[in-house]
Structure 1
Amino acid sequence: MKGSDLPARERILQTADRLFYDEGIHAVGIQRIVAESRVTRVTLYRHFPSKDDLIAAYLDRRAAADRAQVASVVEQNADDPRGALTELAEVLTRDDFGAVRRGCPFINASAEFTGSHTSRVHAREIRGWVTGQLEELLRRLDHRDPRSAAEQLMMVRTGAVVSCALDGNDRLTDDFLRAWDGLIDGGLPQPR
């Protein structure tokens, strides 16, 4: 379906997603979203009564994609929690590093706002959910400290995404995978 053939709500969301991610939420005004998505202001406000509602929909959409990606990996490796953890790391290096050239959209949005703004709530929710998935996989492996290791894996993941956006580390994939595997394997029961 061509962009002009999409329903107005979808055109608005696609435009907001591109502009918010590429340029920042504060930098993009409603009038620009209206113009680039080829809708009227009335149409935009019918779907999204405020800019905060549009921000929430943008982040909901990003979170749904992340949840689907993680859930798919976990499901495909239902009987292999270690395989699921490996695949989650490899998906990040294979698919996401290229897509997050400006860093994590949730971190970026959170950095623009303070307190309990919807962007911060969304960031905490999706990061908490992913961390919970990691913790459950680690628990299934009898990891010695699944909660702490899951938090550390999320920190390493976050650091890798930021590094991808800022550092130009040509060994990022190898460095990330080595740190990821070390955190997992360091807490697994030793073979007898």
Structure 2
Amino acid sequence: MSRVTGGTGGGGASGGASDARARLLGTATEIFYAEGIHSVGVDRIVAEAQVTRATLYRHFSGKDELVLAYLAGADSGIRAQVAGARAGADTAVERLRAVAGSIAEGIRSPGFRGCAFLNAVAEYPDPAHPIHQAVVAHRRWFLETVTELLAEAGCLPADRAGRHLVMLRDGAMAAGCLGDPEAVAETFLGAVEGILQGGL
């Protein structure tokens, strides 16, 4: 899970205001990811961030905007992770393996609790809700990105391979916080290798 360092919402001109916003968002990120969103109230976030309730509402219009900032930070972190993996590889196949490797590394990481976006959408099932829409937008980007990588690697039809890879990732994310993360990560990497070898 990528840690949030930015996001949406109001910003302050002074260092103190920026520090307070960062504490709020950092605290919310840790708790939302570890415990869920609906189970965490604003009062707890304010208390653990050591700010006043008024300070929270100076930076965020409400809890929903704080959740959107949390997801925006997660989205930025994953995009950076994928960009870094792609930049460090020379061929299309190596780039895809690097992206898969970064996913496996996340599954193995301490405190892993599945996909932040799948966790969030389970709590916000209404397709019209902005938080649901933020999840859909992130997943659309990820599907388009892996489909592009698969096409470059010669895995055709790339759209089908892309959907397959995203489903494998979703399953690995769920299994990784329920079973043995190492075994799940290795199984996921093996399945991706199967796609690269044409085994759809």
CA distance in 2 between partners of 1:109 and 1:49 (Å): 19
- 2:102 aligns to what? 91
CA distance in 1 between partners of 2:35 and 2:162 (Å): 31
What is the CA RMSD across the aligned residues, in angstroms?
2.1
1:156 pairs, out of 168, 178, 198, with: 168
CA distance in 2 between partners of 1:122 and 1:96 (Å): 22
- 1:102 aligns to what? 113
CA 1:164/1:9 → structure 2, altered by over 3 Å: closer, same or farther?
A: same
TM alignment of 1:35-184, pairs within 5 A: 35-77=47-89, 79-99=90-110, 101-115=112-126, 116-168=128-180, 171-184=183-196
Preserved CA contact (<8 Å) 1:97 1:161:
no
1:57-112 deviations in whole A, cap 9, x for unaligned? 000001000011111212222x4110011111111222443256221111111101
Q: Any gaps of 5 or more consecutive residues in structure 2? A: 1-15
CA distance in 2 between partners of 1:18 and 1:185 (Å): 38
CA distance in 2 between partners of 1:171 and 1:39 (Å): 42
1:89-144 deviations in whole A, cap 9, x for unaligned? 11122244325622111111110112122332122111211111111111112322
The TM-score, its normalising length taken from structure 1, stands at 0.88
**What count of residue pairs does the alignment treat as equivalent?**
184
Preserved CA contact (<8 Å) 2:114 2:176:
yes
Q: Any gaps of 5 or more consecutive residues in structure 1? A: none
CA distance in 2 between partners of 1:118 and 1:55 (Å): 10
CA distance in 1 between partners of 2:58 and 2:190 (Å): 49
- Kindly provide the amino acid, as one letter, of the partner of residue 173 in structure 2: V
- 1:23 aligns to what? 35
Identity %: 38
Q: Secondary structure at the match of 2:112?
A: coil
CA distance in 2 between partners of 1:94 and 1:126 (Å): 20
Preserved CA contact (<8 Å) 2:71 2:117:
yes
The TM-score, its normalising length taken from structure 2, stands at 0.85
Deviates more, 1:24-33 or 1:86-95: 86-95
CA distance in 1 between partners of 2:85 and 2:135 (Å): 21
